Amino acid sequence: MFVMLTDGVTDVMNEQPMPIAFGRKRLMRLLEQQDTSDPKLVISQVMNAIDQYKGTTPLRDDLTLLAFYIDQLLVTDLGDMGLMNVQGASK
């Protein structure tokens, strides 16, 4: 599974007097604990964790989170142009 995001996801702050960002390490631990390959469920679980972490703290940035799975990848040589055509079937 591929997960792509903007820094708004890792920069979410908590409610502490000295706010701490959600961070890359916390996100990676969360993703490593996932027991699913369903992108919708992964996004839902990450967003729930972010909501719990931030509490009532307003977001300081936009959040973009994309998860997808590719189950087949076809690479075609386009000959003399030196290009490769990549086609994937995603779930």
Average confidence (pLDDT) over 44-65? 95
How high does pLDDT run on average in the chain? 85
* pTM across the whole model: 0.74
Q: Is the pLDDT of residue 73 over 90?
A: no
Which residue, 48, 50, 90, 87, is CA-closest to 67? 90
Residue 56 has a pLDDT of 94
Pairing of strands 65-68, 70-77: unpaired
Tokens of 65: 């989170």
Torsion angle of C-alpha atoms 28, 64, 17, 49, degrees rounded to 10: -50
Residue 34 has a pLDDT of 86
User: Would you say 87 and 59 are in contact if contact means Cβ atoms under 8 Å apart?
Assistant: no
Residue 79 has a pLDDT of 60
Tokens of 82: 């030196």
